Amino acid sequence: MYPSLSDYMSAEDLDFDQLRNEVVSGPSYSPSLGRHENLQQHLGMLEREFVGQVRLKLVHAVLNVLLRRRMRTTIVYRHFHMLWSGHADFLLDTLDCRWLVSACDTICDHSTDPDEARIAILISLFTNTLKLAETERLITCQTDVDPGRIKGRTPIFDGMTAFMPDGGDMPANLLRRIDQTLQSDNLVGMIGREIISRALSADTVFARLAPFQRRNLWRNYLPQAPEPRLAVPPEPIQGRPGVDRPGYILLNDTGRLGGSFHLGTVYACSIIRQNLARRGLTEVGWANDRARFDEVLSCAARRPELIVLNGEGTLHHGAPRAEELMSICAHAKDLGIGVAVLNSVWEGNPDTMVEALRTLDLVHVRDSVSHGELPTDFPAEITPDVSIQLFLRTTREGTFLPPKHSLAVMDSVVQRTSTALLDFAEQERLPFYAMPVGNLRKMREAVAIRSGPVWPRLLQLTDLIASRAWVTGRFHGLIAALCAGLPVCALSSNTSKIEGCLLDSGLGDACLLSQDWLSAPVDQKRSELASRFKIQRTENFIQRRDAYLEMAAARIDRMFDAVTETAMARRQSP
């Protein structure tokens, strides 16, 4: 498996772009604990902690471990530095505080810039001191809250006195000075601002003391950089060595769109690659537009047998990008290359796109609503979203920590819905997650302008499991929660994909919220969610849900068998 231990300690650059778009699979998820003296055992334990997550996060962890053990430090730190230089946007959004603090410790130990090292250790000092305070609280477990215990000047140690709730200014002044010190345009500044914002918005001493304040208030996050960080450009295309197996180009690699991160699209593209590789097909390259498609073809050692178009939520309402993808497929057919469309929504498209679709070799749409949009004689199959296979495997087989939240909220691609969901999370003080990075930036900017009480985070697999129930406007949020066996209520998206999934699964009565929910009073929202979650915990619902997921996984396998047969037939034809 790439990278091997020797790759980490080699002077040759690591392919971080490839690793950013792979999901760790293999053994089931299990959180790591402690340290193994044997390096291979320790790395094996770490790998289980990152199952179901993007491999680049595991690579970052391994680099930190090798540096702690003083192994080829010059070369390994160069990899570490290149990783952060090229992928800071991804790492800041996806790593948890444990690994962000680990990065600060590494920078402190190995940076050649003394100022950078000093700032890094201050961030580590802040976070680890907070960790000690919260640990002591868990040990002593004093539950009766009484701010009245602090009366006047209350000594603690050596002239230090207790903070005075209500009007004390120490936290506000401390955070103001931190804000001035941590620059948002350098690496340690960005890491520090992210860590401290998470600490302020979590269940820590800062958040618990804030409600007692009437003066000298502080926000539960630090202001973010005024402009989003630059996305990573696509990696250069290199001709791949010829392999005596059928080849394909993955068209519409949604996991790479915008250079951001989206758990659902990364899972979809990863499981497509895994299934095709397991059946003996070789990926020649990927493309998201005509220019890259032409470049992939020109660099290929030989012409591929097949274009695999991952339709996902793209092929709807005659959108310009949908038409561009269909024109690439038509061009491929003109070149004598087969085309398989799979994992696709299909809605509101013009007749010209329907006729173009007829010329392709294989068409699989995700639900019966999309199928109903096609002519009755159209030879398309219905196969549920491919990410179901990977979400099922990672969530059902893993050993996760107990959930921390009774309910969490996810955003929506529809702005009005997303705003209403954030409002609900703020009213109920619930964790709020965005699925794609772009939406996370927008939500954080909106929160910062009005000093909102909830700090949005980017959804990760472990976040999904950390809540006992979900309300979401995201199709893949619905899929992920169903696969994890968690109660979930969903709102309509920009197409009928959520309705289609729930119609085919027979779960709409319990899971689908009407648009009236968005404007209902908060008590009514809470009550409706509670009643629907109660239904979803019944044996009848659980059986229907699991039967649908089992059927979906089997259909996905059959679809990839058909894709493989199409590629093989193309290979054998003159």
pLDDT tens profile 215-266: 887 777 787 655 444 444 455 565 554 557 899 999 999 999 876 789 999 9
Q: Are 58 and 80 in contact (CB under 8 A)?
A: no
Query: How many residues in the chain?
Result: 574
What are the tens digits of pLDDT across the range 464-517?
A: 999 999 999 999 999 999 999 999 999 999 999 999 999 999 999 999 999 999
Query: By CB neighbour count within 10 A (0-12 exposed, 13-18 middle, 19+ buried), where does 260 fall?
Result: buried
pLDDT at 107: 97
Task: Classify strands 432-434 and 457-458 as parallel, antiparallel or unpaired.
Answer: parallel
With tokens 């990410």, the residue in question is 387
With tokens 């952060």, the residue in question is 84
Can you tell me the distance from the alpha carbon of 438 to that of 299, in angstroms, rounded to the nearest whole number? 32
Counting DSSP H helices and E strands in the chain, the numbers are 25, 13
Cis peptide before 114 (omega within 30 of 0): no
pLDDT category of residue 162 using cuts at 50, 70 and 90: confident
Can you tell me the distance from the alpha carbon of 282 to that of 241, in angstroms, rounded to the nearest whole number? 11
User: DSSP state, 405?
Assistant: B
Query: In 18-124, at which residue ranges do the beta strands (DSSP E only) sit?
Result: none
pLDDT at 231: 43
Query: By CB neighbour count within 10 A (0-12 exposed, 13-18 middle, 19+ buried), where does 178 fall?
Result: middle
Beta bridge partners of 54: 23
pLDDT at 216: 83
Can you tell me the distance from the alpha carbon of 556 to that of 502, in angstroms, rounded to the nearest whole number? 17
Lowest-pLDDT range of 27-31, 91-95, 507-511, 537-541: 27-31
270: closest CA among 478, 18, 57, 479?
A: 18
What are the tens digits of pLDDT across the range 114-124?
A: 999 999 999 99
pLDDT category of residue 13 using cuts at 50, 70 and 90: very high
Can you tell me the distance from the alpha carbon of 370 to that of 434, in angstroms, rounded to the nearest whole number? 26
**pLDDT of 292 above 90:** yes
Q: Are 541 and 508 in contact (CB under 8 A)?
A: no
25: closest CA among 60, 59, 1, 4?
A: 1
Full DSSP string of 132-156: HHHHHHHHH------GGG--SS-EE
Sketch out the chain's domains with CATH numbers: 247-387 (3.40.50), 390-551 (3.40.50.2000)
Q: What is the average per-residue pLDDT within 5-9? A: 94
Can you tell me the distance from the alpha carbon of 186 to that of 116, in angstroms, rounded to the nearest whole number? 9
Can you tell me the distance from the alpha carbon of 143 to that of 137, in angstroms, rounded to the nearest whole number? 9
Q: Which two tokens stand for residue 219?
A: 């926000």
Can you tell me the distance from the alpha carbon of 49 to that of 62, in angstroms, rounded to the nearest whole number? 12
554 Cβ contact partners less than 8 Å away, ≥ 6 residues apart: none
pLDDT at 232: 46
Q: Are 488 and 467 in contact (CB under 8 A)?
A: no
- Give me the helices (H) in 335-413, please: 351-358, 368-372, 387-397
Can you tell me the distance from the alpha carbon of 120 to that of 104, in angstroms, rounded to the nearest whole number? 5
Query: By CB neighbour count within 10 A (0-12 exposed, 13-18 middle, 19+ buried), where does 121 fall?
Result: middle
pLDDT at 237: 61
Can you tell me the distance from the alpha carbon of 258 to that of 494, in angstroms, rounded to the nearest whole number? 19
Can you tell me the distance from the alpha carbon of 362 to that of 370, in angstroms, rounded to the nearest whole number? 15
- Give me the helices (H) in 222-309, please: 263-278, 290-299
Q: Could you tell me the CA-to-CA distances from 486 to 6, 370, 475, 536 in Å, in that order?
A: 41, 26, 15, 8
531: closest CA among 481, 487, 565?
A: 487
What are the tens digits of pLDDT across the range 409-429?
A: 999 999 999 999 999 999 999
Amino acid, res. 166: D
pLDDT category of residue 213 using cuts at 50, 70 and 90: confident
Which is more confidently placed, 273 or 261?
A: 273
pLDDT at 114: 95
Q: What is the average per-residue pLDDT within 168-183? A: 89
User: DSSP state, 32?
Assistant: -
Task: Classify strands 160-161 and 155-157 as parallel, antiparallel or unpaired.
Answer: antiparallel
With tokens 């969901």, the residue in question is 421
Please name the helix (run of DSSP H) or strand (run of DSSP E) that holds residue 440, with its range, or none.
Answer: helix 437-449
Task: Calculate helix-pair angle for 73-94, 437-449, nearest 10 degrees.
Answer: 60
Amino acid, res. 455: W
Lowest-pLDDT range of 68-72, 204-208, 266-270: 204-208
Which is more confidently placed, 201 or 336?
A: 336
pLDDT at 393: 94
Q: What is the average per-residue pLDDT within 126-151? A: 82
User: DSSP state, 224?
Assistant: P
Q: Is the pTM of this model over 0.75?
A: yes
Which residue pairs, CB below 8 angstroms and at least 24 apart, start in 33-36?
A: none
Which is more confidently placed, 313 or 223?
A: 313
pLDDT at 479: 98
**pLDDT of 326 above 80:** yes
Q: Could you tell me the CA-to-CA distances from 474 to 212, 492, 573 in Å, in that order?
A: 36, 8, 42
**pLDDT of 438 above 60:** yes
Amino acid, res. 55: R
Average pLDDT, the chain: 91
Q: What is the average per-residue pLDDT within 58-66? A: 97
Percent of the chain with pLDDT over 90: 74
pLDDT at 238: 54
What are the tens digits of pLDDT across the range 339-392?
A: 999 999 999 999 999 999 999 999 999 999 999 999 999 999 999 999 999 999
210 Cβ contact partners less than 8 Å away, ≥ 6 residues apart: 217, 218, 220
Amino acid, res. 431: P
Task: Classify strands 488-490 and 381-382 as parallel, antiparallel or unpaired.
Answer: unpaired
